[in-house]
Structure 1
Amino acid sequence: MKVGIAAGYWGSGPPRNVDRMLAEAEALGVDSFWTAETYGSDALTPLAWWGSRTSTITLGTAVCQMSARTPTALAMAAQTVDHLSGGRVIVGIGASGPQVVEGWYGQPYPRPLERTREYVEIMRAVWAREKPVTYEGRHYQLPLDGGSGLGKPLKSIVHPLREDIPVYLGAEGPKNVALAAEIADGWTPLWFSPKSDEFYRAALAEGFGRDGARRSPSDFEIANVCWLGENDDVEKAAAKIKPVVALYAGGMGAKGANFHNDVFARMGWADACAEIQELYLRGRPDLAAQAVPTEMVEDVALIGPADKICEDIVNRWKPTCLTTLILGGWPRPENRERILEAVMS
């Protein structure tokens, strides 16, 4: 299993000490570095800024919001950073949910799987640069249908460094996971749990079995962000992550339309999720965080003292379908090498 590190998306401002963390990570043989976006910082600018300080580490987005850019715009950005980094980019994309897509980006949300398929096809046509790009889809048309009539098929001025930049799909539900296995080069889960490994393997197998599937299980990458909370007291370690779990399970989506809530419910936490969501939507995120069981955090994160974290990595996480464990937190200096070694050995 490979190991990555995540800077994620920003809170009220840039996270501190990312340059130092990234330099240490690259020196220790960490494979990849990942940024993200929701409705604040974007994923591409920090990736290019911090990535420019590196020379070997792979640079990935987990994920870029599809609704934030047209397919050609993201293809342009990806091939630009890929050139500047010497061919080290992974383009992770995701459909997000209706609250963000319609509320922040002002774009329609329905039929996200169909839209994802069209999006990826257009990006690959840009990078292939075989001819001017035309596309007739339900969601995207090049040139635009119903415009001025002056639209012209165009071919990228830039010759991509790589004509086939890896595309990973951020997915949580089984249909979207199957789509990732069918059309993408990798899958980026959110709130993956080792206890759900069999469920996800079945969804992936469905995608791999479809006619024209792009990859097979042997050359498909699965890179999961796993929160890391170090503390000799497991409860104190969990307390640092409970507000994040509460935000996603309770506040990232409307009642009845929260895909993160659905993920935790499938793990067996439906009752806890209902309480967390009710408290969050009532304006009490503090109480929602308190309602998150520690065991629920342990299902999706690495928490506790270093010995326990290493044991969990070896016994619970490494036997799963994951190929890369992206740490959502940088291990303490005194434990860093053995935690990384537990993943990579």
Structure 2
Amino acid sequence: MKLGFHLGYWGSGPIPGARESVLEAERLGFDSVWSAEAYGSDAFTPLAWVGAATSRIKLGTNIVQMSARTPTATAMSALTMDHLSGGRFVLGLGASGPQVVEGWYGQPYPKPLARTREYVEIVRKVLAREEPVTIDGQFFQLPLQGGTGLGKPLKPTVHPLRADLPIYLAAEGPKNVALAAEICDGWLPLFFSPKSDAFYRAALEEGFARPGARRSSLDGFEVAASVPVIVHDDVEEAASFIKPALALYIGGMGAKSVNFHHDVFARLGYADVADQVQELYLAGRKEEAVKAIPTSLVEDTSLIGPAEKIREELSAWEDTVVTTLLLRGDAGSLAKAAKALS
């Protein structure tokens, strides 16, 4: 199983020591480094910055929000990054949720699966550079219909370094996971657990079986899961570092009626916990929401505790569809985690 380093997105400012952590990840033999965006820092710029200081490690977005850019703009950034990095770039895409899509980007959210399908199709057309890009879709038209009438089909002036640049899709629900298997080269799960492997494996197999799917099996398909790894003698204290983020995602990253993160934990068997955390968080009782999360939930979706415990539990992860564990932390914690996972 490969290791990746997830930078994430910025808080109120740049991530302290990010460059040093990436350099340490490359020195340790990590396969990839990933950035993210929400409604603050963007995903491409930090990768360009750290990519200039590295030579081997892959550079991926986890994720670029599709509503933030037109498909052709995303494709332009992807082919630019791929050239500048010497073919190390991986384009990770995601739909985000209605609060961000409609509240921040001012774009419609309905029918995210169909919109994603069109989006990826256009990106692939740009990267292929076989002909001027045209599409008469439900969500995108190239050239635009109803404008001046002067738009013309175009193809990129830049010749892509790799026409088959890998595209991964972030997904949590079974339909979106199946779509990742059908039209993409990898899947970016959040809050994965070995206990949910059969559920997601079935969703992936459904996508692989669809007519015109890019591949027919998991062979060559990448699954890069964000997994907290904390080496610590005290399991409860290690869990306490993770619980606030879980409370935020389960309780506050989405509306009460539409929160995909909440649904992940409900499927995992924590429906009552997820409901309680959401109620408390949305009521402004955030500390209580954190306390409502049992350590067992953290352990189901993380690798925490003494190194011996982590090594023992790692075997369950190695039997899943996951091909890469994406870790977070500073240079020192990455080294400790890598040693525990070796």
Task: Tell me the TM-score normalised to structure 1 length.
Answer: 0.96
Structure 2 matches for 1:35-114, cutoff 5 A? 35-114=35-114
1:262 is aligned to 263
Secondary structure of the residue aligned to 2:175 is helix
Offset, 1:228: 2.1
Offset, 1:232: 1.2
Structure 2 matches for 1:182-261, cutoff 5 A? 182-215=182-215, 216-261=217-262
1:4 is aligned to 4
Distance 1:309 1:303 in 2: 6
2:171 counterpart of 1:171 = yes
Q: CA RMSD in A?
A: 1.2
What is the identity, as a one-letter code, of the residue corresponding to 2:143?
P
Distance 1:28 1:338 in 2: 9
Counterpart contact for 1:229–1:241, Cα < 8 Å: no
Secondary structure of the residue aligned to 2:219 is helix
Counterpart contact for 2:128–2:164, Cα < 8 Å: yes
* Aligned CA distance change for structure 1 residues 242 and 333 (closer, same or farther; 3 Å): closer
Distance 2:311 2:326 in 1: 14
1:125 is aligned to 125
Offset, 1:339: 2.4
What is the identity, as a one-letter code, of the residue corresponding to 2:4?
G
Once the two structures are superposed, residues 213-265 of structure 1 have per-residue CA deviations (whole angstroms, 9 ceiling, x without a partner) of 10231111100010122321111111111010011110011112101000000
1:30 is aligned to 30
* Aligned CA distance change for structure 1 residues 283 and 141 (closer, same or farther; 3 Å): same
Counterpart contact for 2:256–2:278, Cα < 8 Å: yes
Once the two structures are superposed, residues 49-91 of structure 1 have per-residue CA deviations (whole angstroms, 9 ceiling, x without a partner) of 1111100001101110000000000000000010000000000
Distance 1:167 1:35 in 2: 15
1:162 is aligned to 162
Distance 1:132 1:106 in 2: 28
In structure 2, the gaps of 5 or more residues are none
Once the two structures are superposed, residues 143-164 of structure 1 have per-residue CA deviations (whole angstroms, 9 ceiling, x without a partner) of 1111121111111011111111
In structure 1, the gaps of 5 or more residues are none
What is the identity, as a one-letter code, of the residue corresponding to 1:142?
L
Secondary structure of the residue aligned to 1:122 is helix
Counterpart contact for 2:227–2:327, Cα < 8 Å: yes
Once the two structures are superposed, residues 159-205 of structure 1 have per-residue CA deviations (whole angstroms, 9 ceiling, x without a partner) of 11111110000000000000000000000001111100000000001
Distance 2:11 2:51 in 1: 20
Secondary structure of the residue aligned to 1:219 is coil
Distance 1:194 1:124 in 2: 32
Distance 2:337 2:246 in 1: 24
* Aligned CA distance change for structure 1 residues 123 and 20 (closer, same or farther; 3 Å): same
Structure 1 stretches of 4+ moved >4 Å: none
Offset, 1:338: 2.0
Identity %, equivalent residues: 64
* Aligned CA distance change for structure 1 residues 282 and 333 (closer, same or farther; 3 Å): closer
Counterpart contact for 1:3–1:340, Cα < 8 Å: no
What is the identity, as a one-letter code, of the residue corresponding to 2:112?
P
Of 20-29 and 66-75, deviating more is: 20-29
2:19 is aligned to 19
Task: Tell me the TM-score normalised to structure 2 length.
Answer: 0.97
Counterpart contact for 1:172–1:190, Cα < 8 Å: yes
Secondary structure of the residue aligned to 1:11 is coil
Secondary structure of the residue aligned to 2:83 is helix
Distance 2:220 2:34 in 1: 20
Distance 1:316 1:334 in 2: 22
Distance 1:48 1:339 in 2: 30
What is the identity, as a one-letter code, of the residue corresponding to 2:333?
R
Secondary structure of the residue aligned to 2:224 is strand
